[in-house]
Amino acid sequence: MAGVFSFLGGLFARQPRESLPPTERVQAILDQIRAESRPCLHLVPGGGGQTRFGGAPEITGDWPRFGGRPMAHLARIDLAEVRAAGGPDWLPAEGRLHVFLDMGARAQDFEPEQPGACVVRWETGEVAPPEPPADLKPRSRIAPFPLTFQPRTSFADERVEIDWRGLTRDEERTLDAAILGFLSPEPAHQIGGYPRNLQGDDMEVQCAVAAAHGGDLRKVGEDDPTAAELEAARDWRLLLQVDSDPGAGFDWIQNGRLYFWIREADARAGDFTRVFGLAQFL
């Protein structure tokens, strides 16, 4: 997938340096980054609402399973709270999403990219929480962690082509410091907007390619995507990003992040049966 998007290659490993007044060239780059920004919601601890990580799900039907074992209830997202906070209009305005994730038989087996390893249920009626399955492993029992929403702006800084070689040293320093200032605070739990990727910035393309070839993200190869797949990638949206977070008890291997993606048309139709889960690690 190399070369699908232009990105900054190692920029975020740098430390902030003293910012200098921007030149017109730097200002034009920053204006482009801001013009391509998207609103998003950050999920932060606290609040008196119904959104949370973990806890008991309120679902109809059977508790989701993968590989014969019950899945972890990762998150409960109250959609009325999302809408009230200014969240994406492509999500339903009512009900709640329950996000389930297979944690693997062992920690080393954790692989959310497997087909069926993440399940999202959209529920609209009042349902009593079922008893957790007796064989639900301790590592799949996630304690309730209340969340509230903070509206923020996410930036496409890694998707704006920048000719760093054409900048002076002072311009580079100014742009470097300005882009570092775009970074949102961590842990970066998020709904909508651009992902805070840790590796390649091509997850929408991976989803589009996988969807066109049987739905298995693990089989997305190194071949360049077709024009049709690149066009289809525009339809994918960041449903949920879950960061490593000691407070919530999450460590996704090497301080990684989880990303759940859905087609906008599916989300608008209330169809959450084709959500893809990905993980990136440091």
Nearest-angstrom CA–CA distance, 240 and 75? 10
Q: In which band, very low, low, confident or very high, does the pLDDT at 1 lie, cut at 50, 70 and 90?
A: very low
Other CB atoms within a 10 A radius of the CB of residue 228 amount to 10
Q: What pLDDT sits at residue 222?
A: 75
pLDDT of 16 above 90:
no
DSSP assignment of 150-166: EEEEE--GGGS---GGG
Residue 83 has, within 13 A of its CA and on its CB side, a CA count of 12
Of residues 94 and 180, more confidence is placed in 94
Region(s) of the chain under CATH 2.30.320.10: 38-154+184-280
To the nearest 10 degrees (0 to 180), the angle between helices 169-180 and 24-35 is 30
Q: Which two tokens stand for residue 46?
A: 């606290």
pLDDT score of 200: 85
Percent of the chain at pLDDT > 70 equals 93
84: helix, strand or coil: helix
pLDDT in tens, 248-275: 999 998 899 999 999 999 999 999 999 9
pLDDT at 107 over 90: no
Quote the CA–CA distance of 110 and 221 in Å, as a whole number.
21
Residue 10 has pLDDT above 80, yes or no: no
Look at 174 and 159; give whichever has higher pLDDT.
174
Q: What is the CA radius of gyration of the chain?
A: 20
**β-pairing verdict for 145-154 and 69-70:** unpaired
At 19, is the pLDDT very low, low, confident or very high (cuts 50, 70, 90)? low
| Domain 38-154+184-280 listed as CATH 2.30.320.10 | yes
Residue type, 246: P
Report the range of poorest mean pLDDT among 6-10, 56-60, 166-170, 276-280: 6-10
8 A C-beta contact, residue 79 and residue 92: yes
Q: Say what the pTM is.
A: 0.90
